[in-house]
Amino acid sequence: MLSRPNLFRLLFILCIAAVFAGAYYYSYQLSSTAASLLLFVPDCPLYVLLTLPILARRIKNGIFSFLVAVGMAKYGAWTVFVLLFHWGAYSTPANLPITVIFILGHTGMALLGAALLPKKRIGTIALLIILGWFLLNDYSDYFLGTRPLIPGAGINFVRDLTIAASFAFTLGFYFYGEKVRSFQPVKFFRWVIGN
């Protein structure tokens, strides 16, 4: 039952389910966002969707894998942080069950992202483009209004932390990739996905 192929199938199915759940979660926001900004709205489901062709071995490109790894880790960790930061809003009896599921799922998302990190370091130009992409996403979220619909309290702190996370995850994965891959929970996910 807990063989690697079975765990891989389960993980793949959970990723597909997460894409659909995320699309549903963001449906209202997507319907009220300008077409030119749509790509910047569904961060988590977008990066989980981009994970699927990597897991299915359809895309084997180090730059693409690095981009997806950073996106999965950054937005998975961001979601866990926001849920805990606004715990009072998300821990009401009505919200608590889904909040716990979200925390577990997004922790797994961050770890899976780290597991997707390619062994070979990408080039400097690619690194700068990827960093620029995440900073552009941050700009869109906090200055053009595409961030998820979260409580407004402490939004400047959340914004600053989000921008710092773009630097931390992109540069951290680039310079400390080997240490990231050797973290025990990440090693488990790497074993499951056969990476």
- DSSP string computed for 7-21: HHHHHHHHHHHHHHH
The CA-based angle 29-35-40, given to 5 degrees, is 60
User: What burial class does residue 121 get, using C-beta atoms within 10 Å of its C-beta: 0-12 exposed, 13-18 middle, 19+ buried?
Assistant: middle
Q: What is the CA radius of gyration of the chain?
A: 16
7-29 per-position pLDDT tens digit: 999 999 999 999 999 999 999 99
- The pLDDT value given to residue 93: 95
User: What burial class does residue 187 get, using C-beta atoms within 10 Å of its C-beta: 0-12 exposed, 13-18 middle, 19+ buried?
Assistant: middle
> How many percent of the chain have pLDDT more than 70?
99
Q: Report the distance separating Cα 48 and Cα 14, nearest Å.
A: 10
User: Which candidate, 124, 82, 131, 137, places its Cα nearest to that of 106?
Assistant: 82
Phi-psi region of 3 (alpha: psi -120 to 50; beta: other; left: phi over 0): beta
Residues with Cβ < 8 Å from 98, sequence gap 6 or more?
Answer: none
39-50 per-position pLDDT tens digit: 999 999 999 999
54-81 per-position pLDDT tens digit: 999 999 999 999 999 999 999 999 999 9
- The pLDDT value given to residue 59: 96
152-174 per-position pLDDT tens digit: 999 999 999 999 999 999 999 99
pLDDT bucket at 33, cuts 50 / 70 / 90? very high
- The pLDDT value given to residue 195: 84
Section 86-93 average pLDDT = 96
pLDDT for 37 beyond 80: yes
pLDDT bucket at 107, cuts 50 / 70 / 90? very high
Q: Which residue has the tokens 């389960």?
A: 10
Which two tokens mark 18?
Answer: 């997460």
Q: Report the distance separating Cα 87 and Cα 174, nearest Å.
A: 32
Q: Which residue has the tokens 């359809």?
A: 58
pLDDT for 1 beyond 80: no
pLDDT bucket at 2, cuts 50 / 70 / 90? confident
| Cβ 68 vs Cβ 50: under 8 Å | yes
